[in-house]
Structure 1
Amino acid sequence: MLKFTYYGHSCFLLSDGTHKVLVDPFLTDNPKAPIKADQVDCDFILITHAHSDHLGDAPEIADRTGAELVSTPEVLQVCETRVPGLKQHPLNLGGSLNLPFGKVRMTLAQHSAGVAGGIACGFVIYMGGKILYYAGDTALFSDMRLIGQKDPLDYAVLPIGDNYTMGLEDAAMAAQLLNVPNVIPVHYNTWPIINQDVRHYKEITEAMTRADVHIFEIGQMEMLE
């Protein structure tokens, strides 16, 4: 079983009933966040890059909860600068890490990193009997097809906001390349510059792929079937 809770923008929590994994915890400065950073409980925090709308409150949440951070070495150094002595698992592109809940593999993302010398990434997460791909902030790239070929994905969490990431059409093509049966759109409608009609995204994606698009309201919690 895998429970998905959406906290707005690109932040979400995964729970298998025993472990909780928080992803890109942008809460304090998120105008749409339904919860405060000091209200979140988790065991692991995955961070795709160091832009403030993804790194967010990760070091402070890790310090309070004892959660272990998973990211690139450069992003973890930023966390260490803010709060020294945090538990860390550095990874780089293509690397995998076995954790108590399952496995995490770091994937390519085509995006700036938010830290000098760093790279942005995505994650394939094996948890609760499901395989979920979170693209992070990224442009469309053809090697998404390889991600879908390597991992029998159940879900893909894809940005659709345009301007800083893929827009609607590219994100629909990403779902096609991944050949994934379920898509959860994120990274839209936080600010006017990334406003999108998510219903239109659902229409075009379901018309051109085998995917069902699951639109989560902010704060919504659902079991992933």
Structure 2
Amino acid sequence: MKITHYLYNAFLIEDGSTKIAIDPGQNLWIFKLQSLIPQSEWHDITHILITHGDPDHHWQSDRVAKVSGAPVICGKGLTKIENGKTLVIDPRGRELTSWITYENLYPLDVGESVTLNDVKIEAIKTVHGQISIPILGFKIKKQPGLGERTGIGSMGFKITIGNKSIVNLGDTLLLKEWEGLKPDVLMLPIGGLGNNIWTMDIHDAIEAVKLIAPKIVIPCHYNVPFLWIKKMAVTDDQLFKREVEKLGTECVILRMGDSVEL
């Protein structure tokens, strides 16, 4: 199995003929506004997972689905039913004004699962934190919730391929419900700013590792670009790695485009 990371929470998981794209979003740096997962990888993707509707997670999902023909799995909160059709929030729409259809869609609620081409995908509860973005000396704050685009449809996933399991938590705060998941690989955000802003910070992410008890941890969604700011959600991944390894758990740091083979 090969896992490749593309900044934020964008990953490819490859195992034999299986190729899973997690959060095929957009690079938000103004000097590199393009797909996080390269278009050269799109055609043979077999599964697409979307943890929520923010542009760094969702922006390219419909395009990847069209090129690959892969099924799309997301949280039910990313969808609505209108005139008997299940619609998904438009990846590039404004707020909640635009919704589109996906040809092969599987919305899941917490605890629900689906098995597609011998890959089992189970939905795990997550909660997106509030966002606080410094812009020209001001702070723009967004509080996820009903009627709000930020963090819409927040959901984590446990992916089982053969005898290996991977948990990806998207952008989330710390939740006790994860106790005992025990996956082979855990992907979790560590770039929160404390006080429930954005995601877990290092302290909460370490507590999550203790609860979940994975074999390998891959931190993500930190030191990421946003518009003209080259690094937001700044944190010390080497400190996180040292603290995780004190627990007897392996920690793998993946930069943009880096891979690890299991």
Structure 2 residues without counterparts, runs of 5 or longer: 80-87, 92-97, 129-143, 226-230
Structure-to-structure mapping, 1:1-225, within 5 angstroms: 2-29=1-28, 31=32, 37-41=38-42, 42-76=45-79, 77-79=88-90, 84-111=101-128, 112=144, 115=149, 119-146=153-180, 148=181, 152-163=182-193, 164-191=198-225, 192-207=231-246, 209-224=247-262
Superposition TM-score, scaled by structure 2 size:
0.75
Instruction: List structure 1 runs of 4+ shifted beyond 6 angstroms.
Output: none
Which stretch of the first structure deviates more once superposed, 116-125 or 94-103? 116-125
Count of aligned positions: 218
Identity score, percent? 28
Superposition TM-score, scaled by structure 1 size:
0.87
Q: Deviations over 1:194-222 (max 9, x none)?
A: 01111111012222x23111111211122
Which stretch of the first structure deviates more once superposed, 37-46 or 153-162? 37-46
Is 1:59–1:86's contact at 8 Å kept on the other side of the alignment?
no
Higher normalized helix content (fraction of residues): 1
Structure 1 residues without counterparts, runs of 5 or longer: none
Larger Cα-atom Rg: 2
SS of the equivalent of 1:143 reads: helix
Aligned to 2:134: none
Please tell me the residue identity of whatever aligns with 1:214: V
Which stretch of the first structure deviates more once superposed, 90-99 or 80-89? 80-89
Which stretch of the first structure deviates more once superposed, 174-183 or 111-120? 111-120
Gap change, CA 1:78 and 1:49, over 3 Å in 2: same
Distance in 1 between residues matched to 2:224 and 2:151, nearest whole Å: 28
Is 2:113–2:122's contact at 8 Å kept on the other side of the alignment?
yes
Deviation of 1:68 after TM superposition, in Å, equals 1.2
CA RMSD of aligned residues (A): 2.5
SS of the equivalent of 2:208 reads: helix
Deviation of 1:36 after TM superposition, in Å, equals 5.7
Which stretch of the first structure deviates more once superposed, 190-199 or 163-172? 190-199
Is 2:5–2:255's contact at 8 Å kept on the other side of the alignment?
yes
Deviation of 1:57 after TM superposition, in Å, equals 0.7
